[in-house]
Amino acid sequence: MRLFKIRPFGPEWLFVVVLIVCLVPNLLLWHTEEIPFVYGAAGVLLPLGVYWLLMSISGHIGRSVLWMVIVMFLSAFEIVLLDLYGNSVIGVDMWLNVVTSNSNEIGELLGNLLPVIALVCLLYLPPISAGVFAVVRKWRLSDGFLRRNRLAGCAVGVCGALFMACGMVQGSYVSPRYYMFPVNALDNARQAVVRYVKTSRYADTSGDFSYGAVGTHEGGLKEIYLLVVGETSRASNWELFGYERPTNPSLRSHDGLVAFPRTMSESNTTHKSVPLLLSPLTASDFGDSIYHIKGIATAFKEAGFRTAFLSNQERNGSFIDYFGEEADYAVFIKERNDDRSLRDEALLDCLDEVLADGGDRLLVIMHTYGSHFNYRERYPREFARFLPDDATEARPDNRERLINAYDNSILYTSDLLARAMSRLEGDSIAAAMLYTSDHGEDIYDDRRGLFLHASPRPSARQLHVPYILWTSRRYADLYPHAVSAAEANAGKRVSSSESFFHTALDLAGIKCDAFDSLCSVANAAYREPERRYLNDHNRGVALEESGLKDPDFDYMDSKGL
């Protein structure tokens, strides 16, 4: 057993430690991804064989360790994600989230991530430091040690390859791109770069796009359409959708409101869900089409509307920015005020400015910060109705406080919408407001202990979103068919991603080739959608293939989704 005869804290010891720590994510993923035995064994043995061979190429152990820093970095990132979401390899969206999340969002999450960050530091910093030490002290592995370990690495790698071959013979071929860490994580990083580059060329690829949209409503009356895109609001905490707490008192009393309780989003990620809402694309055709299309503001502009995009989120280089900037007036209020903690009600001041500027036909898109974690930062103290709401750390045993804070944020959003609607009411204005959220949220709701959103695998609560339509009295007088159609469709299943664009155009009487009356909840022709989910590789898949589990389908059954 000379192979394992190692001096404590010497070069051979470092060799073994690096092999072990690099293999931790593979072992964890085997468990969390529920990978069948042969693929799981291949997913551990093949990378181990390759690492083993790489480490035995040169006697300069320090240099070998420093080369392995790439694997150790990926491993650390993977372990942090597994701790946060409980499953899945680093996906394309996760790589993009690293680029598109702002420092505030990361900062607010940091407190929760500290224990696992400390753990990965403890796991990976000592071997990396020892590698640097080995370079400085010129540690060498003997030729005999290297020879024996090359053979051992080969043997382990061959075993891994045999397991993979067995898996391929036994069943359908499963590509290492999908189950073998770090091949899958690196391939997802490659796809993220491709997507990032394509997105940066958006101005060129969409330059010629036109909806050819025309307005059909008769002139002579002031028309205002307000589209509110919420953030991280889940339907199950809305009183309007059956929640037992009074989280929507200001909406409950409003006339002209129609709620659609059976609504799901086709994405759980902001940077994909919002563009789905603001364009005619769905999960099925999002893929490459997104690079060649423009947003809803362009359709309204072509139909003769003045358009405004008001956002309480920060720019993130995604299509949200691009679609927003298509509006005649686009403002990201956090930039204007240089205040990163600005609450959503600051958007109402902006709305007032836009309304005061006049114009007969107006589209306003408001992108709120809604109920994004950290929940208690999203509302002023006078909205702290559900107490205590002071959980500083997201842990399952803090759930009651987290839910209190979350409910307060819904209460605040509800009040914000009521205040926006009251600005649009008036005898001389035909106005309508459409509200939904980009996605929902998990807050330690079942034994899985899921938290947040944008997880690589969605959950039902991340996809069940509020969806409401409000029309002013004047609008209802002029277009009663739209109001009665919406009321008739209220009990039907809705995809927010599919219907938001078409419903907005329909309400405003805008026609174009992209418009589909079958997708508008304000149209008698409305038909229920086929449920789809836009997955990490930008493919629209059936919910059964999306990663939803039994508790999710149970939840969906209980809500009639």
Name the one range near Zn ion by CB under 5 A: 228-236, 326-334, 478-486, 546-554.
228-236
d(CA 86, CA 82): 5
CB of 438 or CB of 516, closer to Zn ion? 438
Position 198, amino acid: K
- Binding mask 437-456 toward Zn ion (x if CB under 5 A, else -) reads -x------------------
Least Å from the CB of residue 460 to Zn ion: 17
Give the type of residue at 316. Answer: N
Quote the CA–CA distance of 419 and 349 in Å, as a whole number: 11
Q: Which two tokens stand for residue 51?
A: 């690492």
State the minimum distance, in angstroms, from the CB of residue 220 to Zn ion: 39
Angle of the 11-32 helix axis to the 37-55 helix axis, nearest 10: 160
Strand pairing partners for 511?
A: 214
**How many of the chain's residues bind Zn ion (CB under 5 A)?**
3
Cβ distance 446 to 552 under 8 Å?
Answer: no
| Other Cβ atoms within 10 Å of 212 Cβ, number | 11
- Given the rule CB under 5 A, which of 21-29, 142-150, 170-178, 267-275 is the region that contacts Zn ion? 267-275
Q: Does 409 bind Zn ion (CB under 5 A)?
A: no
Question: Strands 510-511, 540-542: parallel, antiparallel or unpaired by DSSP?
Answer: unpaired
- C-beta closer to Zn ion: residue 389 or 438: 438
Rank residues 206 and 232 by Cβ distance to Zn ion and give the closer one: 232
Residue nearest to Zn ion (CB): 270
State yes or no: residue 520 binds Zn ion (CB under 5 A).
Answer: no
| β-sheet with 361-367: strand ranges across | 257-259, 467-471, 429-437, 222-230, 361-367, 306-311, 329-332
Question: Rounded to the nearest whole angstrom, what is the least distance from the CB of residue 232 to Zn ion in the complex?
Answer: 5
389 lies in the site for Zn ion, by CB under 5 A: no
Look at the block and give the residue holding tokens 């089409």.
Answer: 289
Contact region for Zn ion (CB under 5 A) — 173-181, 192-200, 263-271, 471-479? 263-271
Residue with Cβ nearer Zn ion (421 or 454)? 454
Least Cβ distance, residue 68 to Zn ion (angstroms): 36
Angle at 19 between CA 17 and CA 25, to 5 degrees: 105
Q: How many residues does this entry show for the chain?
A: 561
Q: Please, which residue, 262 or 271, has the CB nearer to Zn ion?
A: 271
Per DSSP, the three-state class of 292 is helix
- How far apart are CB 269 and Zn ion at their closest, in Å? 7
Characterise 430 by phi-psi region: left (phi > 0), alpha (psi -120 to 50), beta (else). beta
CB of residue 439 vs Zn ion: minimum separation in angstroms? 5
CB of 496 to Zn ion, least distance (A): 12
Nearer to Zn ion, 145 or 435 (CB): 435
CA distances from 271 to 290, 319, 396 (A): 12, 7, 27
Between 12 and 231, whose beta carbon lies closer to Zn ion? 231
Closest by Cα among 277, 265, 261, 238 to 495: 265
* Residues in region 230-259 near Zn ion by CB under 5 A: 231
How many Å apart are CA 539 and CA 139, to the nearest integer?
A: 49
Q: Whole-number minimum distance, CB 231 to Zn ion, in Å?
A: 5
Is 199 or 265 the residue whose CB approaches Zn ion more closely? Answer: 265
In the complex, the smallest distance separating the C-beta of residue 106 from Zn ion, rounded to whole angstroms, is 14
The reply on whether position 270 binds Zn ion by CB under 5 A is yes
Binding site for Zn ion (CB under 5 A): 231, 270, 438
